[in-house]
A and B are shown apart, each in its own frame.
Chain A
Amino acid sequence: MLPIFVIIPLGAAFLISLLGKKIKILSDLLANLGTLGLLIFSLYSVPVALAHKILVYKIGGWMPPIGICMVLDGLTSFMLVTVNLVSFLVTVYSINYMEKYTDKYRFYTLFMLMLAGMNGIIVTGDLFNLFVFLEIASIASYALVAFGTEAEELEASFKYAVMGSVASSFILLGIALLYSYTSTLNMADIAFVLSSKPNSAIIAFITVLFLAGFALKAALVPFHAWLADAHPSAPASISAMLSGVLIKVLGVYALIRIFFSLIGINNTILSILMFLGGLSMLAAVILALAQWDFKRLLAYHSISQIGYVILGIGLGTPLGILGGLFHLFNHSIFKSLLFLNSGAVVYSLGTRDLQKMGGLREKMPVTGNTSLVASMSIAGIPPFNGFFSKFIIILACIQAGRFGYAFCAVIGSILTLASFMKVQKYAFFGKLNQNLQHIKEVPWAMRLSMIALAVICVVSGLLIVPKFSPFLQSAVDILLLGNGYKDLVFGALK
Chain B
Amino acid sequence: MSVYILCFILFCIGLYAVLRKRNIIKIVIGLGIIEYAVNLFFVLVGYRTHGRAPILAKDQVILNMVDPIPQALVLTSIVIGLAVTALIVAIAIRLFEKYGTFDITKIRRLKG
Contacts and interface: CB of A to CB of B under 8 A. Distances in A.
Interface string B3-44: 000000001000100100000100100010011001001100
A166 B80 contact: no
Given A154-B94, A293-B112, A172 B99 contact: no
Interface string A272-283: 000000000000
B109 interface: yes
A296 B112 CA distance: 9
B50 interface: no
Contacts, number: 90
A154 B15 CA distance: 22
A155 interface: yes
Interface in A195-240: 228-229, 233
Contacts of A142: 84, 87-88, 91
B45 A179 contact: yes
A168 B18 CA distance: 14
Contact of B87 (A131, A139, A176, A228): A139
A399 interface: no
Identify whether the interface residues of B are mostly helix, strand, loop, or mixed.
helix
Main SS of the interface on chain A? helix
Interface string A136-172: 0001001100100111101111100110011011001
Contacts of A169: 34-35, 38
Contact of A132 (B45, B76, B92, B99): B76
Interface string A1-30: 000000000000000000000000000000
Contacts of B98: 150-151, 154
B95 interface: yes
A235 B41 CA distance: 38
Nearest to A290: B112
Contact of B73 (A128, A152, A173, A228): A128
A135 interface: yes
B63 interface: no
| Residue among B76, B99, B107, B112 facing the most chain A CB atoms (10 A cut-off) | B112
B38 A229 contact: no
Given A165-B84, A166-B31, A176-B42, A149 B110 contact: no
A323 B112 CA distance: 31
Nearest to B92: A158
A142 B94 CA distance: 14
> Which bucket holds chain B's interface residue count?
20 to 34
Contacts of B109: 151-152, 155
Given A139-B83, A142-B87, A155 B34 contact: no
A180 interface: yes
A165 B45 contact: no
B41 A165 contact: no
Interface in B36-90: 38, 41-42, 45, 67, 69-70, 73, 76-77, 80, 83-84, 87-88
Given A158-B91, A169-B35, 8 more contacts: A152-B110, A154-B98, A156-B110, A157-B91, A166-B34, A168-B84, A229-B110, A296-B112
21 contacts: A128-B76, A135-B84, A139-B80, A139-B83, A142-B87, A142-B88, A142-B91, A150-B98, A154-B91, A154-B94, A154-B98, A155-B110, A157-B91, A162-B31, A165-B34, A166-B34, A168-B84, A172-B38, A172-B42, A176-B38, A176-B70
Closest CB pairs A-B (n = 8): A151-B98, A180-B45, A176-B42, A135-B80, A229-B110, A169-B34, A154-B95, A172-B38
